[in-house]
Amino acid sequence: MEGMEEKGMETNSALLIGVVMTPPVISHKSYGETFFSFYIGVDRKSGYRDILQVIISERLIWNLELKPYDTVEIVGQIRTYNEEVDGR
């Protein structure tokens, strides 16, 4: 029986098509690699626009100039984490 990866499907993948809202700025460094953060607006069928943060490695955007109002298509993964604030 074929697994999902063998069929070309990942269990954690996302496709976002939207408009760049903010220019990329340095977010953080990890193991010598710089990551940038920016926001995109993704329109829903309802007409509402979700504003989503994108964090991306410098290796993937070194040759791109992302500016507000540029339309982008982003293929990647959803990554989340739990942050404790005041012991909660």
Domain ranges of the chain: 14-76
Structural contact between residues 54 and 39, judged by C-beta atoms closer than 8 angstroms: yes
The token duo for 34 is 């710089």
CATH match of 14-76 with 2.40.50.140: yes
Q: What pLDDT score was predicted for residue 1?
A: 45
Judged against a pLDDT cut of 90, whether residue 8 lies above it is answered with no
Side-chain-side CA neighbours of 11 within 13 Å: the count stands at: 2
**How confident is residue 77, by pLDDT bands cut at 50, 70 and 90?**
confident
Question: Where is pLDDT greater, at 12 or 53?
Answer: 53
CB atoms within 10 A of CB 18: 20
Q: What pLDDT score was predicted for residue 71?
A: 97
Q: What are the helix (H) ranges across the chain?
A: 58-61
Q: What is the pTM of this model?
A: 0.75
Structural contact between residues 65 and 45, judged by C-beta atoms closer than 8 angstroms: no
Which tens digits make up the pLDDT trace of 11-41? 788 899 999 999 999 999 999 999 999 999 9
